[in-house]
Structure 1
Amino acid sequence: MSAERVTAQYNEEFRIPGSDLRTVAQHVKDFPTLVSWPGEYLARPLFVAEHEIREFADDVRCLVEILFSLPDRMFGGDLDAFRSVLGISDGRWEVIRRFGDLVPPYYGRADMYHDGTSFKLLETNLGSETGGWGLASEMSRATMEVDAFADFARRNRLGYVHPVRAVVEALRRFGARVAPGREPVVALLEWRGGLKDYGELWLNFQSALRSAGLDILVAEVSDVHERGGALYLGDTKIDVVYRSFVPDQIAEEPGGWDVVEPLLNAHRAGGTLLWTPLSSTMFANKACMALLSDPARRRDLGEDECRTIDRVLPWTRLINTDALKTDTDLVDECLERREQLILKVNARGGGVGAVVGWETDDATWRRALENSAAEGCIAQQRVIPRSELVVDPVSGETEEWHAVYGMFYTPQGCAGADARVVPAGSGGIISGMSHARARAAAVFHQSEPPAGGEVPAAGESPVDAAK
């Protein structure tokens, strides 16, 4: 049975009067580790084929490994030339270089649409500042606690990967360098004043990690101090810092270097390890996707690598002031293809600064190209997400929703998925921050039928190695 047929069957059972499937969203909302999250939940989870998300995960891993090789393969090891193309300022570059560790671990969240045929990559979101791990984990866990859904999952071979448990495994392996034979002491550090805005989200993450068996401290960078080549929070030595701040905060805020100096000293001394270096933001820069997509820039990539890139990455081109001056063909193409393209600012996320070509007129689009080019942006081919059919629990009507999926990944592989959904026709950008009716949704994968025909137990299961 395909994921579409699972959806149809779920909606049919959902419509049955008195069906407990109708209680799933409320159960998730009331789940102990999610009650502090301010958002709403879709009336049902989303379903994908396990083999499909596994194949996409393999392609994303290959693509990200190519990203890590770009400075050497496209720029001959000239890091200044690489960062110049990405539009990284002198201040941000100094932060990245002083913290060293230019090649980050494979850790983050790939955002993608499903176009009805396959998944298409929108962003890589490398680095520990990427959120959503706790929400994704606990939505799936809470959904499985509803007996009616657990029975449906068993009958349809549905499972999920718990992202936070994959985080715990990754942090334990990483922390073993300084904490052999014992549990590492991990501290999530926000920037100065950051817990005021993001504290509830990180406390949700902390609660999810603790439920998965790993304690984690939550504090701000200004709360810690360095002693003897290691970082301390009060009298507690920190083995691993889970970073949730970015280079801009160090480079641009007054006294930023003073705030981060204890962490920098402990990191250099090796007494405290930094999970995901600040270079993660460099490889998450959207301009990197344009470098991969543009045939004129990837002459040194192999045929198999190019096929992988083209399979998952929409047509993407770099737009900056140099391009506007020198590449008239590209500019003309972007002007002509306005209704097929979206502009995204290289170093921003969450749809901030994006301009949707099919929602603007020609004059507005031309100005947007000029204005966005000054900051550095990409033009990317539009991907139309497939419709996700959802039965409204009140009206009983079937509604169409569009989803942006998030696939989490760690060095051990695919670490599960979740989704943000909005009603179809709500606009060209799917974002939980910009739509009043945006919803979060758990994602379950459907495994292939076993050779012997026996129905396996439902629940948490590995897609790759992560569990």
Structure 2
Amino acid sequence: MDRVSLTRDYLARVVESGAKAGELTGDPQDSALLETFYSDRYLSRPLFLGHAEQVRLHTDLENLRQALASLPDRLFGGDFAAFARAVGLSEVQVAAVMRGRGPAVSRQTRADLYADGDGFKLLELNIGSAVGGMDNADLCRELLAHPALADFAGEHGLGFVDSLREQVNNIRVESGFGPGDSPVVALTDTPEGHAKMLPYMDALCARWREHGLDAHPAHLGQLQARDGRVWLDGRPVDVVFRAFLIGDLLKSPEIAALLDPLLDAAERGEVTIFTPLDSAAYASKGALAMLSDERNRGLFGPEELASLDRLLPWTRRVSRGPVTLEGGERVDLVDYTLANQQELALKPTSLAGGEGVLLGWARDLTPHQWREQILAAVDGPYVLQRRVRPTPEQFPDEHGDLRPWTCLWGVFTVVNGYGGAYIRATPTDSGSDVVNIATGAYAGPVLHQTRAAHEE
């Protein structure tokens, strides 16, 4: 079966039972991790993936990750600094990503995708430590407490990946520790981020400790590099888990000053940063534009190209001059963009969480405003991306009726392979164009078929 048929059959069962949203969500308040982050905004059902769909989606995402990892060598002769500049990082950011680089691109990623009638389309690929949603297993457990879903999951071989457990494994493996090791991990944000997120950071560290990490929340100002180690409250730190983003370096010179001694210590081998800042260059939307650019197709093999073609909407850096459209037509990029406002989104290359995104189809955006923003973005750290129209998903509401929601899939890759998935969603009629937890989206999990025998 596939996600469409699984959804159809499950919704038919829910409608027949008359179950309402409040009955189906379980009691997520039992999880301190969920309660501190999602503010009781939980979807009334999971989304589904058939076995073949899950395998192909993971294969496509892994092919895309490897293609991204190859870009510095394939396009820039191994010059990583040139690659970082080309994907839109500032000189301050380039200097940071060049320090303490990891031996390989992290396998911890979260792909943000819309599902349309043709499959999955990638909006962005988040790479490294600062990816949210890996607490989704708690959402799965709460929904599966309802007999209707538990019975349905059993009949169709549906299960989930404990993404948090995989996250702990990623930390150990990519930081050079073994399965039984208990490294001291400082879950580290900026001082501002730490103040805002401390309840969640406390809850997350408590869960990590259950899995064997000696984990503690921190901010950059609390870490001290001295005597050949990095210290937190008198405790030597083995791993700094980076919760802050590359964009934070541009918000305040104080952040760069706080980060500098930590990068020095990492370069001396006194501490490991999970994940190094170089992952931010690979995660840039400017790097996706390189994969989408038809001039680079000759760099990739048939399997890579097939994955890129399935996943990537048309994406280009904003610059003057001709580009090729999907059908092969050559057009001037700026002229085409101004004439096709409703079909394009303008996105900063290295910001996250929808920050700075300008949707050409936004209701209150005039052609004059669109033109101003496009011209200002020319040759800057921005990309244009083809609009993706997601297929709405139906969810039971508080009356038991089905209502359409717009869903953003977050699909993880990890050291062990497929890392699970979760959903952020808003009601389709809400008028919200950017789906984000920070702006009120609801959260839910994904169940996938774990046995190929259930494919029909």
- Shared fold (TM-score greater than 0.5)? yes
**4+ residue runs over 4 A deviation:** 16-22, 322-325
Aligned to 1:404: 408
Aligned to 1:441: 444
Distance 1:238 1:109, change over 3 A: same
Aligned to 2:172: 172
Look up the equivalent residue of 2:293 and give its one-letter code: D
Q: CA deviation at 1:262?
A: 4.0
Aligned to 1:368: 373
1:299-339, CA deviations, whole angstroms, 9 ceiling, x for partnerless residues? 3333432222111111111114x5599x9712222233322
Matches for 1:358-397 after TM superposition, within 5 Å = 358-359=361-362, 360-373=365-378, 375-394=380-399, 396-397=400-401
Q: For 1:400 and 1:215, how far apart are their aligned partners in 2?
A: 43
Are the counterparts in 2 of residues 111 and 124 from structure 1 also a CA contact under 8 Å?
A: yes
Q: How big is the alpha-carbon RMSD for the aligned residues of Structure 1 and Structure 2?
A: 2.8
Asked if 1:133 corresponds to 2:141, the answer is no
Aligned to 1:230: 229
Q: For 1:221 and 1:13, how far apart are their aligned partners in 2?
A: 50
Aligned to 2:327: none
Q: CA deviation at 1:181?
A: 5.5
Look up the equivalent residue of 2:46 and give its one-letter code: P
Are the counterparts in 2 of residues 27 and 146 from structure 1 also a CA contact under 8 Å?
A: no
Matches for 1:28-67 after TM superposition, within 5 Å = 28-37=28-37, 38-67=39-68
Distance 1:66 1:2, change over 3 A: closer
Are the counterparts in 1 of residues 322 and 332 from structure 2 also a CA contact under 8 Å?
A: no
Aligned to 2:350: 347
1:336 pairs with 339, 342, 350, which one?
339
Are the counterparts in 2 of residues 187 and 217 from structure 1 also a CA contact under 8 Å?
A: yes
Give the match's secondary structure for 1:348: coil
Give the match's secondary structure for 1:15: helix
Asked if 1:304 corresponds to 2:303, the answer is yes
Instruction: Give the percent of matched residue pairs that are identical in Structure 1 and Structure 2.
Output: 31
Are the counterparts in 1 of residues 51 and 449 from structure 2 also a CA contact under 8 Å?
A: yes
Give the match's secondary structure for 1:450: helix
Aligned to 1:271: 270
Distance 1:254 1:335, change over 3 A: closer
Give the TM-score taking structure 2 as reference length: 0.89
1:93-120, CA deviations, whole angstroms, 9 ceiling, x for partnerless residues? 1111233337432212110011133111
Distance 1:296 1:182, change over 3 A: closer
Q: Which stretch shifts more, 397-406 or 183-192?
A: 183-192
Q: For 1:292 and 1:431, how far apart are their aligned partners in 2?
A: 25
Aligned to 1:117: 118
Give the match's secondary structure for 2:298: coil
Q: CA deviation at 1:123?
A: 0.6
Give the match's secondary structure for 2:413: strand
Q: CA deviation at 1:9?
A: 3.1
Matches for 1:177-192 after TM superposition, within 5 Å = 177=177, 182-192=181-191
Q: CA deviation at 1:32?
A: 3.9
Question: How many correspondences in the alignment?
Answer: 446
Aligned to 1:244: 243
1:255-303, CA deviations, whole angstroms, 9 ceiling, x for partnerless residues? 4454234422331232321111101111111011111101124433334
Are the counterparts in 2 of residues 190 and 245 from structure 1 also a CA contact under 8 Å?
A: yes
Give the TM-score taking structure 1 as reference length: 0.87
1:349-374, CA deviations, whole angstroms, 9 ceiling, x for partnerless residues? 22222222233443332222112336
Unaligned runs of 5+ in 1: 454-467
Q: CA deviation at 1:242?
A: 0.8
Unaligned runs of 5+ in 2: 324-329
1:111-156, CA deviations, whole angstroms, 9 ceiling, x for partnerless residues? 001113311111111121222212x122112223334432221122
Q: For 1:210 and 1:18, how far apart are their aligned partners in 2?
A: 41
Are the counterparts in 2 of residues 43 and 393 from structure 1 also a CA contact under 8 Å?
A: no
